[in-house]
Each structure stands twice: as C-alpha cells, then as structure tokens.
C-alpha cells in the first residue's frame, strides 16, 4: 500500500507542477510572440489560464497531504488536546463533505456542459473538459481528507503531545 501512496503522490506532484510550469511557459511564449515578433496569439491567454488553474487546484491536494494549507491556530493552540482532537475530527469531516459536494455538483456541471455542447470562447475547447477539474479535485480532496481523518482517529490525539515536546526542545 505504501508503494501506491508513493506513486500517487508522485503523479500528483508531477501533474500539478507540470501544469503550472506549462502554463507559465505558454505565457512566456505569448509575451515573446507579442512583443518580439509582433504576432499575438489569441489562444495563449485561455490555454495558460486553464493550465494554471488546473495545476493550482490539483496542488490543493498536494498542500493538504503535506500540511501546507493556510490555518489560523492561535486559538487552536490554546485548546486542551481533547478539544483539539474533536475540532480536527470536525474539520476533516467538513473537508470530506466539501469534497463530496465538489464531486456531485462539479459532476453536474460537467454533465450539463457536455449535453449542451458549450465551447470556450477563443479556442473552442469543450467546456466539459475544462470543468472536469471540479469533480477530480473533489475526489482528490475527499481522498486526502479521509486519510487525514483516519490518521487522526488512529493517532487518538497523540500528535499534539509530540508537537508540544518538539516546541519545548526548539525553545530551549
């Protein structure tokens, strides 16, 4: 199972980083074409936006995996460990619910745009392909939040004791 998660994390990292890199590269190409060769390409803006948005949204799963999400923990740090445990369980359950919400309603949007045959403005990309990031992101977030929920339940709040011990060592 560890090999699966390692491969899954690798694919997430490469996909997210690759899309961001390609998006920036397309923007650079557009700038060179516009200002050096005086030949603006209309597709550059649209395609680069989709790549950067996709890379960023897939990156939210990577950030969740690595605990790099923005969080405000001033009040959280004041709680006793039992309350921290309950708040964390609640937060992860809300995260799972949000992921399921994205799967359901994002899937509905993808289905609607597929049936209606909507296309993007400049390039004519079928919008159901563009919007398919929503259920995909919902799936990735649901999966990551379920793992976090499982780890929190399995750990039974011991992570805060270890964190407290680390902070005492760091403070000297």
Report the alpha-carbon distance of residue 159 to residue 88 in Å, rounded: 11
Domain coordinates of the chain in residue numbers? 1-71, 78-172
Q: What is the DSSP letter of 70?
A: -
pTM for the full predicted model: 0.80
Q: 141 with 98: CB under 8 angstroms?
A: yes
| DSSP three-state, residue 165 | helix
- 82 exposure class (CB count in 10 Å sphere: 0-12, 13-18, 19+): exposed
pLDDT by residue for the chain (172 residues), tens only, comes to: 788 888 888 888 999 999 999 999 999 998 888 888 888 788 888 899 999 999 999 999 988 888 877 777 777 778 887 888 888 889 899 999 999 999 999 999 999 999 999 988 888 899 999 999 999 999 999 999 999 898 888 887 676 555 555 555 454 5
């Amino acid at each position: 199972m560890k090999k699966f998660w390692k491969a899954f994390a690798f694919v997430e990292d490469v996909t997210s980083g690759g899309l961001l890199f390609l998006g920036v590269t397309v923007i650079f190409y557009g700038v060179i074409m516009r200002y050096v060769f005086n030949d603006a390409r209309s597709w550059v803006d649209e395609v680069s936006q989709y790549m950067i948005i996709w890379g960023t949204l897939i990156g939210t799963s990577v950030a969740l995996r690595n605990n790099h999400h923005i969080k405000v923990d001033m009040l959280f740090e004041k709680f006793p460990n039992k309350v921290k445990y309950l708040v964390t369980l609640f937060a992860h359950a809300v995260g799972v619910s949000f992921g399921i919400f994205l799967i359901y309603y994002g899937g509905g949007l993808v289905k609607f745009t597929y049936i209606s045959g909507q296309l993007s403005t400049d390039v004519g990309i079928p919008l159901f392909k563009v919007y398919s990031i929503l259920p995909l992101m919902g799936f990735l977030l649901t999966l990551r939040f379920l793992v976090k929920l499982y780890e929190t339940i399995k750990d039974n709040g011991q992570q805060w004791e270890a964190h407290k011990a680390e902070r005492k060592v760091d403070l000297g």
